[in-house]
Amino acid sequence: MLNAVAHSTAVGHHNSFADDRIALITGATAGIGYEFARQLAEKKIDLVLVARDAVRLATLAGELQSEFGVSTEIIVADLQSEEGLRLVEARTSSHENPIDILVNNAGYGLRKSFEDNNIESELDHLNLLVTVPLRLSHAALAQQLPRHTGTIINVASVAGFIPRGTYGAAKAWVLSFSRWANIYYKPLGIRVTAIAPGFVHTEFHDRMKVSKATVPSFMWLNAEHVVRIGLWDVAHGKAVSVPSLRYKIVVLLVRVLPARVSAAGAFRAR
């Protein structure tokens, strides 16, 4: 299902994304995705909003149009279905009103440990965290490379630096892919950045039905801050953005500590 509103041609205030007209954001209705939508709309960038909930999408689209004067499209799609993913791929690769900024944000965590999950749950989880950003990045490049311009933002996690579970393993792929793509495609006009936050106040842990009380308050980040710092790092061409000094320290410690020590501490961050 695709509801489209005609795009305006006006470019708003001068900013580091001044040449970008349209951004597509997956998982756009909550948390980090919602903040990406607001902050890119604030920069007068038109939006393609992707999520499963049609009501929340329509509400968000209307809110952003009213507040920032941007045009919006909504795509109601389940990215874990082949039909939904193909729909979003088609829009991402389209040369008509091309996507300048792709934000691969959709994701979730699994509450149980690997051996306690059925394999279907693990495969669905892997597909959303790895296959979806892989395919959408490939689709975006199809129309960005001929234009020698474009941005791909992959929401990763500090968990990707830590040998801990399949969530961390999937996010490690996102980090590695983004580092390589940033090096390889930057000379061709494409910037690729992985944003790796720690614990963020979103619906992520609520959906997992995991209590936030066990995490010290100083470890929590605000989604608005994460996205604002992340976009600054994107504009400055960084391959990986860790948008917090405290988590930069965590990443540094993980690199010097033995893997068995890093793996011993539970870390389900987003």
pLDDT, tens digit, 9 for 90 and up, residues 215-231: 556 565 788 989 999 99
State residue 201's pLDDT score: 53
State residue 202's pLDDT score: 54
Question: Which of 203, 252, 250, 247 minimizes the C-alpha distance to 229?
Answer: 247
pLDDT, tens digit, 9 for 90 and up, residues 97-127: 999 999 999 999 998 999 999 999 999 999 9
CA distance 193 to 180: 10
Q: Residue 188 has what DSSP assignment?
A: G
Contacts of 65 (CB under 8 A, 6+ apart): 5, 71, 72
Helix (H) or strand (E) holding 84: helix 82-93
CA distance 128 to 52: 13
CA distance 126 to 170: 7
What's the pTM value of the predicted model, to 2 decimals? 0.84
| Inter-residue contact 110 to 101 (CB < 8 Å) | no
Tokens of 93: 């690769």
Query: Which runs of E-coded beta strand occur in the chain?
Result: 2-4, 22-26, 46-51, 72-76, 101-104, 150-155, 190-195, 199-200, 220-221, 240-241
Question: Which of 219, 222, 228 minimizes the C-alpha distance to 268?
Answer: 219
State how beta strands 72-76 and 150-155 pair.
unpaired
**pLDDT tens digits for the chain (270 residues)?**
344 433 333 333 335 798 899 999 999 999 999 999 999 999 999 999 999 999 999 999 999 999 999 999 999 999 999 999 999 999 999 999 999 999 999 999 998 999 999 999 999 999 999 999 999 999 999 999 999 999 999 999 998 888 779 999 999 999 999 999 999 999 999 999 999 987 655 554 455 444 445 555 656 578 898 999 999 999 999 999 998 766 677 777 776 555 554 455 544 455
Question: Which of 18, 36, 17 minimizes the C-alpha distance to 26?
Answer: 36
State residue 92's pLDDT score: 98
Q: Residue 44 has what DSSP assignment?
A: T
| Inter-residue contact 72 to 61 (CB < 8 Å) | yes
